[in-house]
Structure 1
Amino acid sequence: MKYNYQFVKIPISLLSLLLLSISIAFAQETTVTGVVTDGEDGSPLPGVNVLLKGTSTGAITDFEGNYSIKVSGDEPVLVFSYIGYLKQEVPVANQSTINIAMPLDVQSLAEVVVVGYGTQEKKEITSAVVSLEAKDFNQGNINNPSQLLQGKVPGLSVSGKGNDPNGKPAIRLRGISTIGANTEPLVVIDGVIGASLDNVDPNDIESINVLKDGSAAAIYGSRGSSGVILVTTKTGQAGGVKVNYHVYGSMDTRARDLDILSKDEFLALGGNDLGGETDWIDELTRDSYSQVHNLSISGGSGSTTFRMAANYRDINGILEKSGFEQINFRANINHSAINDRLNLTFNFSTTQRESNFSFPEALRYGLLYNPTAPIFDENGSYFQVVVFDNYNPVGIIELNQNLGKTKKFNYNGKIDFEVIDGLTLTGNIAQQLEDGMFGEYYPGTSYYRGFNRSGLARRRAEDRQFTLFETYATYTKRFGNLNMTLSAGYSYQQEKFEDFLVDVGGIPVDAVAFNALEWAREIRQANRLTLESSATPKSEIAAQFARANFSWDEAIFLNASVRREGSTKLGEDNKYGVFPAVGLGVNLNRYLEIAAFDQLKVRAGYGVTGSLPRDNGLSKPSYDVNYSEVDGSLEANFTQSRAANPDLKWEVKKEFNFGVDITTSDNRLTAALDVYTRTISDFILERNVDPAVFGAPTRFENAGELSTNGFEISLNYKAIEGTDFSWNPGIVLSHYKSTLDSYVIEEQMIAELGAPGLNGTNLVRIKEGEEIGQIWGPVFEGVADDGAPILADVNGDGTLKTDQGNALAEDGDFALLGNGLPDLELGFTNQISYKRFDLNMFFRGAFGHSLVNTFRNFYEPRVPGSINSYNRINTELALDNLTTASFHSYYVEKADFFKLDNVTLGYNFNVGDVSWLSSLNAYVNVQNAFVITDYTGLDPEPALQDFGSVDNGNRPDVNPNVLAPGVDRRNNYFTSRTFTVGVRASF
């Protein structure tokens, strides 16, 4: 029995001890609550991380600064951390309520700005750099990240004609930076040079920095000539898991219409009466509805943080069938080790989009088609009259297909290791893969395009690859009053592109569309088949770079950099270029001690950047092949179509920038002024050459020089700062003029109007020594008795010479009718808050630019013989007695505008009583609320480039002509007004 007693006693003792331990553990687990406030003014601080030291248990304060966290263990300690404030560690002891007033971290309050290969304190920057955080972005239904910046950065133009959901706005920084190369700024996403903006959802962006001048962009060498846009995406923070959900729905409606003749007006002028009445624009357009969902999960422990986000977009345009459906996924993880000396970062993103491009050109036919025509004929087919360039617009949309699928994938891994105090080594590897598949189909019943081919199918595929590897070292050291940061590194980039196109007619079954090309009659008969494929050689860039930043006495700042870069796109003798930059800044108020100012900094910078051609292999010869029949078989004959040029070299931009930054002592007013001048030389252009000398009729050469001068102003003012009410207005202004100093052709007219009837009529003059964007032509003075325009004898010689063939002659009667580039661009922001409400009103304007209203030019004159079939534009400027269509000054209109571009009203709910909810915000937004303009066209936005009169379909690779701004073409998508309702919630 004794043995058995002991046997039982021991387990009972152990069980008692275990139960006692559990009870003690539960007794020690308590809930601590409290409020975290600003140590200066006592206001609540939302978003503060509260972490139980030594664990991953954490919480985040809500909108009112409240938190709740469960604590356990021996001597638990809570750690409170928030950017801009000193970290606080508080022992829990026996407290159930801990309120914390966070003291400001004066040193960390210095604003840090992302620049090339690192960061700098804003006060130390000597170049023209603008930094925007998420709170500064445009709101609403934003589908392209560049739209976040529209009107927000002085000198940056983001302009798109109409609101095509599949379109891309043109982006220009300080005007034209090149003619034959890429005109848009370089995009760098999380340190990855050349990453695609299409692969980052606007909801995932934390901040955007814009490097505007040469001294800032020179560190990126050949790819920084058009400026640099640095995008930083959101990351996780330590302190538990945080879930954010953002959902919004939008409705788009037509914002502006072109006035056209009503049915009665059309018939009164002799139009054919086909017995019906159709509002074609109403049939083509709709009130479209879109939805966007963004879900993110973030968090982490003290050494590892993460963030994952999924974005879904179902976007529809006002044109029937136009829109896209997109899924984007982004993830990043950061891990630190070895006492925070080692930091590992991994980013991953993928985007899949299915697009219906529809046919924006159908809108043109919708304005012109006979208003008495029915949609369908008596047989139920789409009604069609056989008249030149006159197609049933509803049939264009409904009969034909214009679809596309794209996939984008990119990743990058980055490692930072602080070898010794102050010395950090960095390595970054990234890759971006893009592929697209596009299809168009036009059945044999489509008069628009497939009728003459008995069913036309087009299939196009393309594949792009980009690889980046960079490594650099950064050394930071302080010597008394001198702060020094030195960097040096190596960069390697590789690009490759392939595509494939099939254009074939004779598709026997409409249902297969472009998915059974082998059925095509033209393939079986080997007749009229168009087959194209290409692959560029690998384009490689290798570079070495170095930079030095010095700060003396917290008031004198010197920044210098140099990059030596080589590219396989250039000739054998000119592969390498050197791009230096230097900047100097002085905070004069450090020594003048003017009481009204905290900062009065003057700065000056000079930088050299390069620009590469868009395509590969331009320095090498190209060949065409022709087949001839020899003895019953086909033999290939090769001819050189383009000559080689081993001397082809970089385009070079040299830029000087002078700036002044002002901050008042009360920190209420901040202002910046930049004045700049720059010269771009050695444009890479294809020129006609002597085949007897060069072996081919053309070759690419360096020729031409362009200069730009301008200024930019930004002002931000805290006009009212109260407990319940505040108003912070801000304004940005920019102006520039570009002059063509030299060019391969001394004088030339470009931007042809095209058919019908205006072939050979060019609109824009480019001439050495004159401004870019000049619109030239005859001057309208009235209407003659025969309905022809009366044109001015400009040179007063008594002879009227307005034939387009004499446009370049010195004695021709042509005059400067306007300029396609604006003299002044304006952005005016108003941020207003009242208690829990916030209101953001953003106005935007452009002044001094003109547009050629091609709709009026082609379709406003009451031309006998065409009025019976085509409807007419009927603006307030229409002249009933003008019956001849020709180009002259009457169709060049001033397009100044001022608009309420974006307005958002939001409300922040009190969620203090909801433990599972951190914050909740609801808002309503209107984009393009109203516009004030005298322009009679669809959209007064500047036309910064010209794609010509041809239909480019969905080909994004068609090069626009940047020397021909100001032409408002007839195939533009209509503008829309967008209403959005959204909710943001954090858990």
Structure 2
Amino acid sequence: MKYKVLPKRIITIVFLLAFSFMAYAGNSSKPKAEPDSRLWFTIANNADIIITGKVTDEKTKSPIPGVSVKLKDSQVVTVTDENGVYKIAVPNEQAVLSFSYIGYDVQEKAVGSLKNINIVLKSSQSDLDEVVVVGYGTQKKADVTGSVVRANLDDFRNAPTTNVANLLQGTVPGLNVGQVNRAGATPSISIRGQNTLGGNQNALIILDGVQYLGSLTSINPDDIASIDVLKDASATAVYGAQAANGVILITSKKGSIGQTKISFSTQFATQKPNIDLKPMARDEYLDHVKYLYYDQAFLAPDFTRPNPAFDLVSKVDASMKDAQGNLLPNDFSWFDEATRTGSIIDNQLSVSGGSEKVTYLLSGSLTKNSGFIKNDLFKRKTIRANIESKATNWLTIGLQSFGTFTNEDGVEPNFADINLMSPLILPWDNNGNYKINPFATNLVNPFLNYQANDYDRHNYFFANVYANVQLPVKGLSYKISFGNNYRLDLKNISNMYDANLTGQASKENTTYYDYTFDNLLTYNKTIGKHSFTATLLYGASERESSYTRAYSTGFSRLTLGYDNLQQGTNRFAISNAWKEALNYQMIRLNYNYESKYLFTGTIRRDGFSGFAENNKYGVFPSLSVGWDISKESFFKVNWVDNLKLRVGYGVAGNQTSRYSSLAAVGVGASYVFGDGGSTQLGQQVNSLPNPDLRWERTTGANLGLEFSILKNRLSGVVEYYNTKTTDLLYSVNIPVITGFNNILTNIGQLNNKGVEISLNSKNINSGGFQWNSTLSFSRNTNKIVKLLGDLNGDGIEDDLPQSGLFIGQPTAVIYDYQVNGIYQIGEKIPTGYSPGTYRIVDQNGDGVINASDRAILGSSAPAYRLSLLNNFQYKNFTLSVFFNAIQGGSKSYLAGNTPRVIRDDNAIRNNYLSGIDFWSPDNPNGKYPRSFVSATLNPPLFQNRSFVRLQDVSLSYKFSGKLIEKMKLQNLNLFVSGRNLATWTNWEGWDPETNQGLTNDGRPVFKGYAVGLNVTF
């Protein structure tokens, strides 16, 4: 039931020591590259073996001319031609070739029996020349002044998962991605903590330049080329009001100029719970009932000696006895019957290529994820077409589109009900039919869900059409894009056991559509050493949705199920719809002097239909500067390769939900005319309008330092940020004499700050063996500075304890009663409590336990997050190992985790998770309460959720040589991988990261193993 335990004190030490070793391990000397100016030639004699091949760049896949190809320990050298092709003679199969080129890592390859050796070189320079997406454009990473990070996808693409968000978990400092425990589910996503109380808390997702409000489940992970994360206000300002919680930019793959490339990949993965946690079996269950009656099952005064006269059978619920009053002989596992080994089957196919005029990528995929609980099913089909055409020398047009069709048919049994079913009871009667009420109570058999006829489909359609026009003015271009999202959700279901066993059938559909229309004008100008880029944007977006449901109850039969609703006795129909619109303008100026002095200034204006008449628009400015110190003539530190300082300051917004500033009108029963008259419907105002409702404003400063040292052996980024959110959107309680309970308004101030560190080290690169590491660290804290002001007139800012909000405390504060052990037999116990209930600390010492004894106990937010990725390469083998950790210290990352049993009919009847350390007279140090009566107050026991997880492991082998030549393949790669393989924590229950403890209604996180194949023709 418990995870492996890792002592808390050594967690940080282990990471730091491991990283320190990796940063300096291995041979620090870098092999010198041969001169690249030699003419191409071949030295051979009759005994020589001729080796040919091609050298390409790892990222661009393009050939590299001028690469030095040397026969190790000799003077035999050649260089690649303009197509990256080389030819060299070697004396025997024991020869080793060395490939070197300025800016790339040296690679060595043993010849063996190979006649053709193709090499992919990796850049040895820092990634400063990498182009990242920054919103409405791209920039060289060296020129970026905001906090922009490109996620590492390559080391995680083999992970057994169906959602691209799972690949991001723990990989980017400040990007917080949760776990999932359902087939095809999307995890929670946040960036740099909480900036709001009642506003939108979701990160903004931009897919190929278009805001994407669909589920990330709809995006095929294999179609994604890159993911860039914008974290600070200066980087997110280009998206203005929608960017207060950070931005995730997803860019799909495109075709490239060259011969047609056909890629196919397949993967099979298993999924099991990462912890062995099940309900009690027969013997433990009966023992549990006995201890609920410890006052009768054991002898006074200490109730530790068994009572021979105790009759356990008489205490067991009647549903678990036969006609003669004997216990049923069953030891049935409802858990095993409801679960299975889950699996993922994933197949991907893509065709790409192009010419100077047209490039294309076509792809399709089939994915099936069968979850751990039966009928937890997710199937996905995707098809994508990305096409770009250079129609003329001044016009480029393109299409980025996909369709996704998901199938989630079937209703799983209620997992909480599965866990509370007694092992003495079977789900079937003597005729093999499901029992309706196994306990002879209102609790129905959870397996009756299997009888549902369920049709649950979600269809997603995305298309972005764009044109890029090079205007007659040099450096001036105009881009117009029209992005469309359409979603159709169909949910049809019928079951004879629904609607209190009278039968129910329903059909419901939801349609959603949005468009984004952007006009982008970009001007690039270089004057000597000065470079300018100006960007002007005008855009608009509209969203609308419609929902309809028709359903019937009271069926004598359900022959046609949901396709014959008129058979139901009671028929109903409901519908609703909504629409909202946005309008925005933006201007951005980038200045660059020799990539040494950098400046970015942005102003964005947003309008949203959901805001009040007096505040439809908000203006959000930002500016940031960068200074590459290492390029200064006075900077003469030889071991420092790059040192760049950047500072950013900006304002982002947060918008309210639609219609929230308006008076909402509802329809309900209002009048009765005359004696015996029927009730008439009328309209009533349900909420007050607020014509002065304003945008939230998050003002933030960001300080970043980028560096690389020791010939790029160690590089990294250190960032500090501090933000302030004012005009917080919050629903404030008002006097009921107004006729209303609350009104949405702007209040208070919330501060948010943190630090993020990312370190990359090249530990060893020698003898064909490479070892690289990445360490990520982030810490975030927030604090409420203001709320409603001084309500009592005492000069002190007032808290809102009923809402869990306190001045000077974080939003995730825990305000509750403090537990101090369990009352024991023979102890003086106050009225309202009994042995086996929690002892509550009397905080004010008045001898009475009441609401005044609540205290701030800590926070549910983490203290810090930490991850470590190690990547090893030897010859054709690649191994990556990724650890992820979240730590809370002594008073952070806490959560209530309190299984509690109180003797009543349900407690005697219901089952519970096995191995729980309940209190009993003979187990006085038991951790969790078990008592005769419910205490006056039953506070939770707050426990630390800190953990270290071996999250991802992948081992791959890339085939080369004769096999590849004979099959005429460009690539053949075989891999095995694992996910969530081990977790070290003191948390008890399903999983610390999902905040699910020892509770019947929790769900396990999956541990998975996968095997797969990638092949390119």
Matches within 5 A, 1:11-90: 35-37=53-55, 47-48=61-62
Q: How does 1:477-876 map to 2 (within 5 A)?
A: 477-502=525-550, 504-523=552-571, 529=572, 531-536=573-578, 538-591=579-632, 592-616=635-659, 618-626=661-669, 628=671, 630=673, 635-689=680-734, 697-743=741-787, 747=799, 765-775=804-814, 776-785=816-825, 786-802=834-850, 806=851, 812-848=852-888, 849-852=892-895, 854=897, 856-858=898-900, 861=901, 863=903, 865-875=905-915
1:397 CA drift (Å): 3.9
- After superposition, residues 245-394 of structure 1 pair within 5 angstroms as 245-258=264-277, 260-268=279-287, 269-270=289-290, 271-272=316-317, 273-339=327-393, 341-356=394-409, 358-359=411-412, 362-383=414-435, 384-386=437-439, 390-393=443-446
Distance 1:372 1:872 in 2: 13
Cα deviation digits, residues 343-394 of structure 1 (max 9, x gap): 212111111111136346x22222221111112122433233446674433x
Q: Structure 1 101/466 Cα, relative in aligned 2: closer, same or farther at 3 Å?
A: closer
Any conservation in 2 of the 1:641–1:697 contact (CA below 8 Å)? no
Q: Please state how far the C-alpha of 1:698 moved relative to its aligned partner.
A: 4.3
More displaced, 878-887 or 714-723?
878-887
Q: For residues 410 and 189 of structure 2, what CA distance do their matches in structure 1 show?
A: 21
Distance 2:119 2:431 in 1: 80
Contact residue 218 and residue 607 of structure 1 kept, 8 A: yes
Give me the whole-angstrom Cα distance separating, in 1, the residues matched to 2:512 and 2:58.
49
- CA distance 1:44–1:252, shift in 2 (3 Å): closer
Give the aligned partner of residue 958 of structure 1. Answer: none
Which whole-Å CA distance do the structure 1 matches of 2:356 and 2:650 have between them?
41
1:879-894 matched pairs, under 5 angstroms: 879-881=919-921, 882-884=929-931, 891-894=941-944
Query: 1:940: how far off?
Result: 0.9
Letter of the 2:949 partner, please give it: K
Partner Cα separation in structure 2 for residue 767 and residue 191 of structure 1 = 40
Deviation at 1:500, TM superposition (A): 2.2
Tell me, what secondary structure is at the counterpart of 1:283?
A: helix
Alignment of 1:412-431 (within 5 A): 412-419=464-471, 420-431=473-484
**Secondary structure of 2:284's partner?**
helix
Distance 1:876 1:691 in 2: 46
Q: Matched residues, percent identical?
A: 26
In the aligned structure 2, how far is the partner of 1:173 from the partner of 1:100? 39
Q: For 1:289 and 1:683, how far apart are their aligned partners in 2?
A: 44
Contact 1:832–1:838 (CA under 8 A) maintained in structure 2: yes
Seen in structure 2, the aligned counterparts of structure 1 residues 113 and 467 have a Cα distance that, compared at 3 Å, is same
Contact residue 165 and residue 186 of structure 2 kept, 8 A: no
Distance 2:441 2:782 in 1: 40
In the alignment, the residues of structure 1 paired with residue 839 and residue 155 of structure 2 have an alpha-carbon distance, to the nearest angstrom, of 50
Counterpart CA distance in 2 for 1:102 and 1:364 is: 54
**Displacement after TM superposition at 1:214 (Å):** 0.9
* The one of 194, 214, 229 aligned to 1:176: 194
Deviations 1:937-979 (A, max 9, x none): 1011054xxxxxxxxxxxxxxxxxxxxxx99875343222111
Q: Deviations over 1:454-474 (max 9, x none)?
A: 113344321111111111111
Query: For residue 794 of structure 2, what is the aligned residue in structure 1?
Result: none
Q: Return closer, same or farther for 1:83/1:111 CA change in 2, 3 Å cut-off.
A: farther
2:257 corresponds to 1:238: yes
Shift, 1:633, TM fit: 6.9
* 2:152 is the counterpart of 1:128: no
Q: Deviations for 1:696-720, whole angstroms, at most 9, x for unmatched residues?
A: 5544322343221111111111111
Q: CA deviation at 1:747?
A: 4.7
| 2:150 partner SS | strand
CA distance in 1, matches of 2:58, 2:212: 41
Paired residue secondary structure (2:236) = helix
Cα distance, 1:147 vs structure 2: 1.1
CA distance 1:715–1:387, change in 2 (3 Å): farther
Q: What residue identity is the alignment partner of 2:955?
A: L
2:205 is matched with 187
Per the normalisation by structure 1, the TM-score is: 0.81
User: Do the aligned residues in 2 keep the contact of 1:836 with 1:907 (CA within 8 Å)?
Assistant: yes
Cα drift, residue 489 of structure 1: 1.6
Aligned to 1:753: none
Contact 2:918 2:930 in 1 (8 A): no
Give the TM-score normalised by structure 2: 0.79
Letter of the structure 2 residue corresponding to residue 685 of structure 1: Y
Q: Secondary structure of the residue that 1:178 maps to in structure 2?
A: coil
* 1:195 shift after superposition: 5.2
State the 1:555 CA deviation: 1.1
Structure 2: which 5+ residue stretches go unaligned?
Answer: 1-50, 66-79, 88-100, 105-115, 291-315, 318-326, 790-797, 826-833, 922-928
Distance between the aligned counterparts of 1:388 and 1:658, measured in 2?
Answer: 62
AA aligned opposite 1:711: V
Partner of 1:975: 1005
Q: What are the Cα deviations for residues 917-936 of structure 1, in whole angstroms up to 9, with x where unaligned?
A: 11100101111111111111
1:432 pairs, out of 458, 464, 485, with 485
Instruction: Name the SS for the 2:966 alignment partner.
Output: coil
The range that moved more, 462-471 or 589-598, is 589-598
Count of aligned pairs between the two proteins: 854
- The question of whether the paired residues in 2 share the 8 Å contact of 1:557 and 1:585 is answered with yes
- 1:478 counterpart letter in structure 2: T
Letter in 1 for 2:584: A
Q: Given that residues 157 and 173 in structure 1 are in contact (C-alpha distance below 8 angstroms), is that contact kept between their aligned partners in structure 2?
A: yes
Q: Given the superposition, is the C-alpha separation of residues 968 and 549 from structure 1 closer, same or farther in structure 2, using an over 3 Å criterion?
A: farther
Q: What RMSD in Å do the two structures reach over aligned CA positions?
A: 3.3
Superposition deviation, residue 98 in structure 1: 14
What is the Cα deviation at residue 165 of structure 1?
1.0
Give the whole-Å Cα distance in 2 for the aligned partners of 1:452 and 1:564.
53
Give the letter for the 1:777 counterpart. Y
Question: Does the 8 Å CA contact 2:525/2:533 hold for their aligned counterparts?
Answer: yes
Give the 3-state SS of the residue equivalent to 2:258 in structure 1.
Answer: coil
| 1:471 corresponds to 2:519 | yes
Q: CA deviation at 1:595?
A: 1.1
Q: Deviations along 1:777-825, whole A, 9 cap, x unmatched?
A: 23132233242424243325241314xxx2xxxxx22334442211111
8 Å Cα contact 2:184-2:217 kept in structure 1? no
Q: State how far apart, in whole Å, the 2-side matches of 1:406 and 1:246 are.
A: 25
Counterpart in the other structure of 2:109 = none
2:297 corresponds to: none
Q: Is the 8 A contact 2:365 2:381 kept in 1?
A: yes
Contact 1:862 1:880 in 2 (8 A): no
Q: Distance in 2 between the 1:711 and 1:685 partners?
A: 28
Once the two structures are TM-superposed, the CA of residue 629 in structure 1 deviates from its matched residue by 5.0
Cα 1:298–1:83, aligned 2, differ >3 Å: closer, same or farther? farther
**Cα contact 1:650–1:682 (8 A) shared by 2:** yes
* 3-state secondary structure, aligned to 2:711: coil
**CA shift in 2, pair 1:793/1:580, >3 Å:** same
Structure 1 residue 678 displacement after superposition: 1.1
* Equivalent residues of 1:138, 1:150 under 8 A apart: no
Question: Partner amino acid for 2:943?
Answer: E
